[in-house]
Amino acid sequence: MKAYCVKERKSREMVSPKEVKFGKGRHALKGKCASCGTTLFRITGK
């Protein structure tokens, strides 16, 4: 699972992603950057 790291401004591997929900049925994956430990989000679904 890759996600964009805003700290490094690069696409990084996400560690231990967990699904989170917010708003009207929107889903996202939340995890940590394998490189620097910054929290990463990736929007999933529709």
Taking the least distance from each CB to Zn ion, the nearer of 12 and 28 is 12
Residues near Zn ion (CB under 5 A), total: 8
- The contact pattern for Zn ion, residues 1-20, with x = CB under 5 A and - = no contact, is ----x-xx---x--------
Cα maximum dimension of the chain = 32
Taking the C-alpha atoms of residue 16 and residue 44, their distance in angstroms, rounded to an integer, is 15
Taking the least distance from each CB to Zn ion, the nearer of 7 and 26 is 7
Taking the C-alpha atoms of residue 38 and residue 15, their distance in angstroms, rounded to an integer, is 10
Taking the least distance from each CB to Zn ion, the nearer of 12 and 17 is 12
Report residue 33 as tokens.
């950057």
